[in-house]
Amino acid sequence: MKTIGLIGGMSWESTQTYYRLLNEQVRERLGGLHSAKVILNSVDFAEIEPLQHQGDWAGTAEILTTAAKSLEAAGADFFLIATNTMHKVAPKLQNAVKIPLLHIVDATAEALKADGITTVGLLGTKFTMEQAFYRERLEAQGLKVLIPNEVQGNAVHEVIFKELCLGVTKSASKQAYLDIISDLDQQGAQAVILGCTEIGMLIKPTDTPVPLYDTTKLHANAAVTYALSNDC
């Protein structure tokens, strides 16, 4: 079994979900008392969030590069960034270390394509929904991406930072998200990507007839598949 390096803390609410999913998947696949080999570097999100909103992505990359190097030095065979938004600086992190990065968009796109999805809605932070780094990687794999309108996008973003990252879930926010998902469905989305690792705390597949692709679960599943494979 390969050792998984995990850069977490963005927020820790979703990082604990990653840890649980990684271990559950290993136990399910190997049985017995097996658990995942994981090295975690959990950063302080209070240092990163202001840099995101200031547009200082170089500053965020510096923090996460230090984390990636520490995982490599500690013996991780590959690593994950346990957040969608910070994949904006993924190329810089990959260039800083020799161990491979398992990209969250690739894990998600693989699942979508396997299910025959060609048009998908995307929910996440405004950075993830509106900037090119995420959508273009999906589009490069043949997917058409729909995002909420500006008012809806602002609402999705605010709920993530002011509620979900603090471990808070509200029924009104859940309904707002479900309304947005319904709107994306009416625009032609065959499914919706929960493109923020906290959204799964608020919305469950049973809440809507629209198929939901939870990036946290997909990323964790892909990590365990790779950890248990013979790939170098």
Q: Could you tell me the two tokens for 43?
A: 């950063």
CA 209 to CA 129: how far, in whole Å?
A: 22
Secondary structure of residue 82 in the 3-state scheme: coil
Q: How far apart are CA 138 and CA 110, in angstroms?
A: 10
Q: Which of 15, 60, 83, 197 is catalytic?
A: 83
Cis preceding linkage at 11, omega within 30: yes
Catalytic choice (108, 125, 165, 196): 196
Q: What is the DSSP letter of 190?
A: S
- Catalytic annotation present for 83: yes
104 Cβ contact list (under 8 Å, min separation 6) = 80, 81, 84, 87, 215, 218, 219
Please indicate whether residue 232 is annotated as part of the active site: no
Query: Catalytic residues, which ones?
Result: 83, 196
